[in-house]
Amino acid sequence: MTYEETSAKQRTERFGMSHLSIEVGHLYADDLARPDTLKAEMASAAAWVHGTTEALSKRLGGRRPRVSTCYLVDDYSQQGMPAPEELISVISEAAADAGLRIDYLARESACARMGPLQLAGLVADRIVFEPPPGANGSRPTVSRSGWLCNGVPSPRPKGIAMGAPDQWRPPSQNAKRDHSVFLDVELWSDTDQGRRWSCPMLAAVWQLLRLGVLRNQGRRIGVPESVAEVVPDEHGHDPGRPARARFPETWEAMPPILQLEPEAFPFPAYRTVSILSVNYLEVEHAVRVICGSVRPEASAVEIIRKSAEREGLVLPDELVDRLSYIFQGPL
């Protein structure tokens, strides 16, 4: 009798990839109270999208690049969000005024839980922290503490009565250049209502979804759902008028990732660019620390690498090196 591990029979799902996924914004409820600012941000994002797409076309030898755009709505930490119909209308109008098309809209709460799947927990379980030389084991593991750092923190004082004072030592960044930029990232906090995931942790899940590397037993995670229904008027839908999408009344009923444009290129991409307010710089620094420590299923990463090679593209080995940013200051 021959025994085989279940993983040996597991098939890793394949799917189409865009060359680039561009995040054109990250919305808080307060942003809706500033429609002029939202429109100005969309106009600026549109310029970056057009310029980035043109530059990518040149890198591809004149070929038309597959570029998809996306927008993330914070329905995880924000209370009193407008109904999906209202919010999507505001975002779509601001984008249209700027000559920008938004292909996909995602809910941040889906980065914590996607249906029955505890998505953030799945990603947290794939964090591999390798203690650097000099670590003495006094720091709890990431799975126990909920904290992840990019190096060696300053030693904790021993606090021995009447003992010699401890000599302070600075923290040290792994793989540093001349000087260290040490960062300690909180991934979650445990509350009476359960585990509360941090903004950097959810944003890291969001980036990994966009890179298409997340799997659940080989199956793809985060398949967008299309807008298929229309709202008929009292006399029935007039074919001469554009159809209006119907959205659920609550964000909890919304799909995790909604495909707004039927002809959009695939949601996952070989690389990502995020056009964000400069206020997100610290968060995205933390995101890079997290993504640099996550080890997705090797078969998923290998399938994407080979797919890119068939198109003549060479992807960086490290997932974090596939992330790029454009930070915008006040306009």
Can you tell me whether residue 268 is helix, strand or coil?
coil
- pLDDT tens for 86-137 read 889 889 999 999 999 999 999 999 999 999 999 999 999 999 977 666 666 6
For residue 139, give the nearest of 127, 155, 124 by alpha carbon.
155
For position 113, what pLDDT does the model report?
96
Which amino acid is it at 272?
T
**Partner residues linked to 269 by β-bridges:** 18
For 201, half-sphere exposure in the C-beta direction (CA atoms, 13 angstrom radius) is 31
Q: Residue 322: is its pLDDT beyond 70?
A: yes
Q: What confidence category does residue 158 fall into, taking pLDDT thresholds of 50, 70 and 90? A: low
List, in sequence order, every beta strand (DSSP E) within the chain.
Answer: 18-27, 67-73, 104-107, 147-149, 151-152, 172-173, 184-186, 188-191, 194-197, 215-216, 219-220, 225-226, 257-259, 269-277, 323-328
Length of the chain counted residue by residue: 331
Domain boundaries, the chain: 13-124+197-231+244-328, 133-155+170-186
Calculate mean pLDDT across residues 262-283: 95
User: What's the whole-model pTM score?
Assistant: 0.87
To 10 degrees, the CA torsion angle through 223, 72, 185, 178?
100
Residue 154: per-residue pLDDT = 75
